[in-house]
A and B are shown apart, each in its own frame.
Chain A
Amino acid sequence: MKKPLMQEHLDPFFKYQVMKEPGGEKLALCFACDTCTLSCPVRVQEEAYQPRTIIRLILLGAKQEVLTDPVIWLCASCFQCQERCPQGVGVTDLINAVKNIACREGFIPKSMTMQMGLLAKHGRLLEIGDFENKKRDKQQLPLIKEQPEDIQRIIDLSGAARYLPQESE
């Protein structure tokens, strides 16, 4: 059982913060029918992951609970909830907006900073060096040269440089 939420811990402005975030605009349309949770393939395996509960917690103002709970990162982005929502809440986009806010507020999972680090280093998620190119050449596929410079620029210009792994990591 989760601990009861105390009123002094609730942030009544959290819902407005989510609605201002791209993807979160239609939060208030939710009428709590539970179609999202019942459609969710993650929920079949993980009782803790319930999109409707996340939406209700946001509306209630449980900012810390939502942003720090690792379950938001279980969303597979399969869009099944978004397809079926009768109110057009855009549930998958909304969960993604919550993840963006969580990162900005300092709750970014390590796997995410690692991904950002790989992109900055290689311009792609998987390294392509001599070894990979040799294999590509054997299959008569064109060789690929990593060009991370523009990617680093975009990470910087889009405000994501702070999500890169720290030197010590």
Chain B
Amino acid sequence: MKKAAFFIGCTVPVRGTNYEQSFREVARVLQIELVDHPGFSCCGFPTHAINRMTALALSARNLALANQVSLSSMITLCNACTENMTHTNHLIQHDPVTCDEINRILSQIHLQYHGEVKVKHAMRYLYEEIGLDTIRASVKNPLSNLRIAAYPGCHYTKPSELYEGFDNPEKPHTLNELVIATGASIVSYESSCCGGGTLGAKEDTALQMGIQTLKSMKENEADAIVLICPFCDVMFEQNQKKMEKLYGKEFNLPILYYPQLLGLAMNIERERLGLTINRIKLDKVLEKIQSGNKE
């Protein structure tokens, strides 16, 4: 049994409970013990553009809490949490001045932190700590009928200087491999940033950014998009209707979070995968899975 602190951030526990619930379910099957900590707060990412030290100290606080209860591993669901927490770890380990500054702040709330906790995005954790073989072995119902556009999002692999050679920032492949492990096939498409980071500053620009990618996914006949970041979901799912209006054409591309896809392949009961929370109807996708079983 592996054990890790489970850091769900701000957006997932409110708007991405389908992501959270399905990951908890597949983690159980894959024998990962997820430890919730009642003190976890925001990772700090939203303050990074305003005041860098606030962002660093907020993430160091969460890491210090995990370390306090002797957890040396942390699993994150959101790409932004992953990037910000990994960035903090990196500075604490390589920049003594920043490390001191962070700990000066933490000491005021009776904490300290020196880089003890390893942060990994949940999918990186599955890929590196659990492995494709184990995941393949857990699949009871290969989803061989599905054509998936796997969209890892920016901070899953970038900035690559933080991620120790994990994946390829120009051509990410680990999420593709994870999807293929469920029996589904991958469609290639032209990928660009989802636009989530620009949404607060200028909505139309952000929506246009998202449209570029949705257009290519649709042209390449994806049945669904697989996501692993709640901000990508804000764009590709929650804003898909707005994008369709702006573009003048329907996309009608449902999304699944990766653990939902894996959960379906594992034959986990559907109500335990939060599928009813998904905003774009999954009927066609589920039908396709059903008809694949009959063949």
Which residues does A use to contact B, with CB under 8 Å? 22-23, 41-42, 44-46, 70, 73-80, 82-83, 92, 96-97, 99-100, 103, 108-109, 111-112, 115-116, 119, 123-128, 132, 135-136, 139-142, 144-145, 147-148, 150-151, 153-155, 157-160, 163
The answer to whether A103 and B109 touch across the interface, beta carbons within 8 angstroms, is no
Q: Report the bound CA distance from A78 to B201 in whole Å.
A: 15
Cβ-based interface call for B267 (8 A): no
B210 to nearest A CB, angstroms? 10
The answer to whether A139 and B50 touch across the interface, beta carbons within 8 angstroms, is no
The answer to whether A139 and B21 touch across the interface, beta carbons within 8 angstroms, is yes
The answer to whether B10 and A159 touch across the interface, beta carbons within 8 angstroms, is no
Q: Report the bound CA distance from A160 to B57 in whole Å.
A: 11
Q: Given contacts A153-B108, A157-B105, is CB(A124)–CB(B10) below 8 Å?
A: yes
Cβ-based interface call for B280 (8 A): no
The answer to whether B10 and A154 touch across the interface, beta carbons within 8 angstroms, is no
Interface residues of B in 32-54 (CB under 8 A from A): 36, 38-39, 41-42, 46-54
Q: Given contacts A79-B155, A83-B160, is CB(A160)–CB(B51) below 8 Å?
A: yes
Q: Given contacts A74-B205, A109-B201, A126-B10, is CB(A135)–CB(B17) below 8 Å?
A: yes
The answer to whether A151 and B42 touch across the interface, beta carbons within 8 angstroms, is yes
Q: Report the bound CA distance from A160 to B44 in whole Å.
A: 12
Return 25 A-B CB contacts under 8 Å, by A number.
A42-B198, A42-B205, A44-B192, A76-B193, A76-B196, A76-B198, A76-B209, A77-B49, A79-B159, A92-B159, A99-B49, A112-B50, A119-B46, A124-B9, A124-B42, A126-B10, A139-B21, A141-B20, A150-B39, A154-B54, A154-B57, A154-B61, A158-B51, A160-B53, A163-B51
